[in-house]
Chains A and B, each alone.
Chain A
Amino acid sequence: MNRSPIPLLVLTLAPALLGLAVFRAYPIGLALYESLYTTIGGERVFAGFDNYLMLLTDVGFWKSLRVTLWFNLIINPLQVALALALALVFVQKLPGMAFFRLLFLIPIGISLPVAVIIWRIVLLPEGFLNGALGIVGLGPYRFLTSPDFALYSIIAIATWKGISYWMIFLVGGLQNIPPEINEAARLEGASPWQRLWLITLPLLRPTLLFVLVADITINFLLFAPVFMLTGGGPRGSTNVLMYEAYKSGFVFGDMGRAMAIVVCLVALLLVIVAIQFRLLSSAPKEAK
């Protein structure tokens, strides 16, 4: 290692650090700052914690919070479980697997808005899925315009698009487990099911934790499907906080409320992530 002249350091580090400071760190500070202001007749007025206090009694906010939490309570365990199942299949050494692996990776190349457009037409009352369900005499269902279905349709679309991406990380984790451990357990007579629960999953814990945390972060801030498909409706059933904040700031021009919601959302996210680290990484590390 070298002690280096200061100008050299500045030249190499400054562009990246400056970029991160201005476009990552500063916006966080600005969100906190702007959440203390309100706009009255085009004038920005200092409001203290009024924006936050008003959220406390804001029925729309609480309903949106409930939708966000319910959405995340379903989608995150679902995505991680399916991604894990997919990863376990992905690493199987079977004839013809190379072809299937390629198929598993397809949704990674598809952006969420593309997935949304395709699924919107697939899910129409006269669309492909209702046509296919018609074979067994079901439907047609209004997947996107009924308050009973819309949120679950969004969950399905985001899951379809997301699990291959999370699978990649889990495949990486699975490949890091030395095959000798599984081999030894197999010789000792452990069933595949036992090996999964007693060896694979405990050794995969760090990767699982990473995937869970990263997945929750993405899903807490999910925006495109709600914007493109439902606009928060029908009857507020898909109005997640991210969309509520967007509407507040960019449709109704109330940036103070929008920033207060974003701050609450990110704070809530940090709390949930912290709890998860607590629960999952302090657990005893078997077999390590």
Chain B
Amino acid sequence: MPPILRKALIYLAIAAVAFVFVLPLWWAILSSFRPNEAIFRDLFPFTPRALWPEPFTLDAYVAIFERGFGTIIANTLLVAGLTTALGLIVNGLAGYAFALFEFPGKSAVLGIVVVSFMLPFEAIAMPLYSVVSQLGWIDHVAALVVPSVANGLAVFLFYQFFQQVPKDYYEAARLEGAGWLRILWSVYVPLSLPTCISAGLMLFIFQWEAFLWPLLAMPAQQFKVIQVGMAAFQDQYTTAWNQLFGAAVITALIPMLLLIPLQRYYVQGLAGSGIKG
């Protein structure tokens, strides 16, 4: 194949894929700025005007915030923020211990921790409901936060990183009489900032996207998190299309705001989990 033809074909494929990825989103975004009765205008017959937000209005966004979407966002930020903060401490400490200390059975325990993240949360969500109801946490925020804090992948990311830090750092600090907590705080934590971002993003996105677990654990729906809130919204306002699109756009926008500047760290974190393959 002549190189020019090959290049043209590749560009064509790229454009086609990008089109399929972007088009539904673009339609969702522009529709969220249209009045509800104009959502399906210009589609039958199809005209290019279907791809432009006209007539333009912010009614949908005003309406979803009047219906309490702001509280749902705040709830989710609280749950995801708490999980991320606690998760970094708990999993970071464990990663530090695995990397620096020797104890009998260490490799077996580490192996189990690593395997635990291959089993997705969905697989244990239903029995987890029984565990959490034994603890009396159904409909409490603790049911959403506590079970998600300990995370095998996050432990592994920290372990992997701390292991690469030269042991001399640790020894030198020991010789100067620093305790392990001081060493962790003033030597290891500053070094591990990229790992903290990777693991933190992972924990945050996990909570932001959680659906089945909050659905089961919060049956009273007094405290709604975003994915479940959106699904409930869909059941309640079946034909408020522009508001549904608005809710979807906001729900997608918040993790995007984190992912776009920090995508490098997110990708590194993911790739770290695939390394053992």
Contacts and interface: CB of A to CB of B under 8 A. Distances in A.
Interface of A: 1-4, 8-9, 11-13, 15-20, 22-28, 30-31, 34, 86, 89, 92, 94, 97, 100, 102-114, 117-122, 124, 126-128, 130-132, 134-135, 160, 164-165, 168-169, 172-173, 206-207, 209-211, 213-214, 217-218, 221, 223-224, 227-228, 242, 245-246, 249-250, 255, 258-259, 262, 265-266, 269
B178 interface: no
Main secondary structure of the interface of A (DSSP, over half): helix
B189 interface: no
Contacts of B267: 168, 172
B169 interface: no
A112 B209 contact: yes
B91 interface: yes
A259 B18 contact: no
Contacts of A104: 17-18, 21
A16 B17 contact: no
Interface in B226-249: 227, 230-231, 234, 241, 244-245, 247-248
A119 B24 CA distance: 7
B263 interface: yes
Nearest to A19: B150
Given A17-B113, A24-B119, A113-B230, 17 more contacts: A16-B91, A16-B93, A27-B124, A31-B124, A92-B10, A94-B10, A100-B18, A105-B263, A111-B211, A117-B234, A117-B244, A124-B40, A131-B42, A169-B270, A169-B274, A173-B274, A250-B126
Given A118-B248, A169-B271, A246-B126, A17 B17 contact: no
20 contacts: A16-B91, A20-B113, A23-B128, A23-B147, A23-B148, A27-B128, A28-B127, A31-B126, A100-B18, A109-B256, A111-B209, A111-B251, A113-B251, A118-B245, A130-B44, A131-B46, A173-B277, A209-B277, A262-B123, A262-B127
B232 to A, nearest CB: 10
Interface residues of B, number: 89
Contacts of B271: 168-169, 172
A1 B100 contact: yes
Contacts of B245: 117-118, 121
Given A8-B180, A128-B43, A13 B234 contact: no
A223 B276 CA distance: 28
**Is the contact region of chain B dominated by helix, strand, or loop, or is it mixed?**
helix
A218 B267 CA distance: 19
Given A207-B277, A224-B212, A160 B20 contact: yes
Given A111-B227, A172-B274, A249 B131 contact: no
Contacts of A113: 209, 211, 227, 230-231, 251
A210 B24 CA distance: 30
A94 B39 CA distance: 38
B24 A128 contact: yes
Nearest to B27: A128
A228 B231 contact: yes
Contacts of A262: 123, 126-127
Nearest to A249: B126
Contacts of A206: 277
A153 to B, nearest CB: 13
B77 interface: no
B82 interface: no
B194 to A, nearest CB: 16
From A9, A12, A107, residue with most partner B Cβ within 10 Å: A12
A109 B255 contact: yes
B94 interface: yes
Contacts of B118: 213-214, 217
B248 A242 contact: no
A269 B24 CA distance: 33
B126 A258 contact: yes
A20 B11 CA distance: 47
A28 B124 contact: yes
Interface in B165-185: 167, 170, 180
In the A-B complex, list the 9 residue pairs whose CB atoms are closest, starting with the nearest. A19-B150, A131-B43, A16-B94, A210-B277, A27-B127, A12-B97, A23-B147, A31-B127, A221-B122
